[in-house]
Amino acid sequence: MVRHDQTYPLGHILTARYWHARDSDLHYTMADTGWAKCAWGKIYGRWIAGTAILVYDYERFDADRMMQMMTGYG
């Protein structure tokens, strides 16, 4: 057990703003949205940084379809 002050997710905001994202970017992630990593690392940090997010819901991984999505949305 580790005691902490719940500020860990704030680091993802800084990472998104100064390393991963720009205001005009479209961010696409393949992390399952049920995972905390997706929520903090791929969604909230990007939104706070002003980046648009592409969410594609799928039942089963399909590499060809993923490539079509990336090609279609740039």
Q: What is the pLDDT of residues 18-63, one digit of tens each?
A: 777 677 788 777 766 666 766 766 677 777 777 888 877 788 888 9
- C-alpha R_g of the chain: 14
pLDDT of residue 68: 92
Compute the distance between CA of residue 24 and CA of residue 22 in angstroms, rounded to an integer: 6
Contacts of 50 (CB under 8 A, 6+ apart): 21, 23
Q: What is the pLDDT of residues 1-26, one digit of tens each?
A: 777 777 776 777 777 777 776 777 88
DSSP code for 15: H
pLDDT of residue 14: 75
